[in-house]
C-alpha cells in the first residue's frame, strides 16, 4: 500500500514531488532510491550517478517524516543563509501559523539599531586590539549607524552582519569574539521581527549583552564590570527603545552568561519610567 510521508519544509521541491513513490514497510525499514527530474522538467532516464537520493522510511507510520536522508545531490543545494533563515523562521513561529504580531515602524527599527550600535562600538577596540587588520566588525557597526540615521535596510547591512560573525570565529581571544558578536548584533538589530516572541528580545539587547560580556572577559571574568556595562547600556536606552522593548515578552531563559546579561538588561530597561 502506498503512503505519503509528511515532508519537512526545508526538503528540496523535487523530493516533495517524488514522495508519493516511497513505500513504508510495516515489517522492516526499506531503502528506496529516488531520481529527481532533470532541469527541463523531463524525467531522467536510466541511472544517475550525480542526482541520486536514498530515503529510509520509518516502520511506524506513513505520516512520519523520513528517518534518514543520505547521498543527497539535488540539482542545486540551498545556500547557508537560506537554511539559517528557515531556522530563524521556525524559531520565531513563522512556520507554525503564529499570527500574533507587534506593531513596528521603520523609525522604531532605526532607534533599536542606534541603541545596539552605541552598545557595540564601546568594545570595538577589544576586537581591533586582537585583530588590527580586520575591519569587518567596524563595517557592521558603520552599516548599523547608516541605517539608524536614515539609510535603507539593504543587502549591505545583512552582509556586514554575516561578516562580523565570521570575524568573531577568527578571533584569537574570547573577549574579541564577544566584541565581534556585539557588532554582528548591532547590524542584525535592524531585522527585529514584529512577533510576540521572547527570542526577539535578543535582537534588541544582544549587542549590549555581548559588549558587557567582552568587557567582563577583558577584566578577567569580572561580573562587576559586566554589571557596570549593563548599567551604562540602560542609560543609552531612549524612550522609544524602552517602549518597543515593553511590547515584547520578557527575555527567554538560557544562553549562558550572555543570556544572563540579556535578562539583566531586559529587567532594568523595563523598570524605567517613561516621561509623560
pLDDT digits (tens, 9 = 90+) for 17-37: 444 443 434 334 434 444 444
Nearest in space to 212 (alpha carbons), one of 257, 270, 276 = 257
> What is the tens place of the pLDDT at every residue in 103-125?
999 999 999 999 999 999 999 99
Q: Identify which has the larger pLDDT, 44 or 173.
A: 173
- Boundary (domain end) residue, out of 54, 77, 100: 77
For helices 106-121 and 223-236, give the axis angle rounded to 10 degrees: 150
Q: Identify which has the larger pLDDT, 184 or 14.
A: 184
Instruction: Identify any residues that bridge with 55 across adjacent strands, giving them in sequence order.
Output: 32, 69
* DSSP track, the chain: --------TTS-HHHHHHGGGPPP-SSS-EEEEEPPPPTTSPPPPS--SSS-EEEEEPSS-TTSPPSEEES---SSPPPHHHHHHHHHHHHHTTTTT---B----HHHHHHHHHHHHHHHHTTHHHHHHH-TT--HHHHHHHHHHHHHTT----HHHHHHHHHHHHHHHH-SSHHHHHHHHHHHHHHHGGG---B--GGGHHHHHHHHHHHHHHHHHHTTS-HHHHHHHHHHHHHH--HHHHHHHTTSPPPPS-SHHHHHHHHHHHHHHHTPPPP-
Same domain, 166 and 73: no
* pLDDT value at residue 101: 87
Mean pLDDT along residues 127-156: 96
Range of the domain at 254: 81-270
- Is beta strand 68-70 parallel, antiparallel or unpaired with respect to 30-34? unpaired
pLDDT at 163 over 60: yes
- 191, part of any domain: yes
Q: What are the Cα distances from residue 226, in Å, to 178, 221, 233?
A: 12, 9, 11
- Average pLDDT of the chain is 77
- 56, part of any domain: yes
How many domains are there within the chain? 2
Same domain, 108 and 65: no
Same domain, 19 and 73: yes
Measured CA to CA, the distance from residue 7 to residue 16 in angstroms comes to 6
Give 160-163 contacts, CB < 8 A, sequence gap 24+: 160/136, 160/187, 161/187, 161/188, 162/81, 163/136, 163/139
pLDDT at 62 over 80: no
Same domain, 205 and 249: yes
- 64, part of any domain: yes
Cell 528580545 locates to: 201
Query: How are strands ordered across the β-sheet holding 68-70?
Result: 30-34, 53-57, 68-70
> What is the tens place of the pLDDT at every residue in 217-270?
999 999 999 999 999 999 999 999 999 999 999 999 999 999 999 999 999 999
- 118, part of any domain: yes
Same domain, 184 and 103: yes
- Boundary (domain end) residue, out of 77, 97, 113: 77
What's the start-to-end Cα distance of the chain, in Å?
Answer: 69
Mean pLDDT along residues 159-188: 97
Name which of 51-65, 140-154, 175-189, 258-272 the model is least confident about: 51-65
- 276, part of any domain: no
The pTM (predicted TM-score) of the whole model is 0.66
Amino acid at each position: 500500500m502506498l503512503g505519503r510521508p509528511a515532508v519537512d519544509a526545508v526538503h528540496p521541491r523535487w523530493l516533495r514531488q517524488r514522495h508519493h513513490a516511497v513505500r513504508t514497510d510495516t515489517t522492516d525499514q526499506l531503502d528506496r532510491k529516488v531520481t529527481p527530474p532533470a532541469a527541463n522538467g523531463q524525467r531522467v532516464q536510466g541511472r544517475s550517478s550525480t542526482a541520486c537520493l536514498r530515503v529510509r522510511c520509518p516502520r511506524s507510520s506513513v505520516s512520519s517524516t523520513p528517518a534518514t536522508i543520505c547521498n543527497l545531490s539535488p540539482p542545486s543545494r540551498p545556500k547557508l543563509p537560506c537554511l539559517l533563515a528557515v531556522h530563524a523562521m521556525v524559531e520565531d513561529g513563522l512556520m507554525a501559523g503564529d499570527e500574533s504580531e507587534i506593531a513596528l515602524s521603520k523609525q522604531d527599527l532605526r532607534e533599536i539599531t542606534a541603541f545596539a550600535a552605541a552598545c557595540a562600538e564601546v568594545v570595538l577596540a577589544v576586537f581591533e586590539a586582537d585583530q588590527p587588520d580586520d575591519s569587518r566588525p567596524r563595517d557592521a557597526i558603520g552599516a548599523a549607524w547608516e541605517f539608524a540615521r536614515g539609510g535603507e535596510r539593504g543587502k549591505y547591512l545583512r552582509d556586514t552582519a554575516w561578516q562580523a560573525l565570521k570575524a568573531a570565529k577568527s578571533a584569537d581571544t574570547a573577549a574579541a569574539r564577544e566584541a565581534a558578536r556585539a557588532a554582528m548584533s548591532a547590524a542584525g538589530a535592524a531585522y527585529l521581527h514584529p512577533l510576540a516572541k521572547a527570542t526577539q528580545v535578543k535582537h534588541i539587547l544582544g549587542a549590549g549583552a555581548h559588549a558587557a560580556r567582552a568587557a567582563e572577559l577583558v577584566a578577567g571574568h569580572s561580573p562587576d564590570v559586566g554589571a557596570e556595562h549593563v548599567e551604562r547600556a540602560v542609560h543609552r536606552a531612549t524612550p522609544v527603545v524602552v517602549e518597543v522593548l515593553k511590547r515584547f515578552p520578557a527575555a527567554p531563559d538560557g544562553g549562558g552568561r550572555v543570556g544572563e546579561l540579556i535578562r539583566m538588561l531586559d529587567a532594568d530597561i523595563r523598570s524605567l519610567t517613561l516621561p509623560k
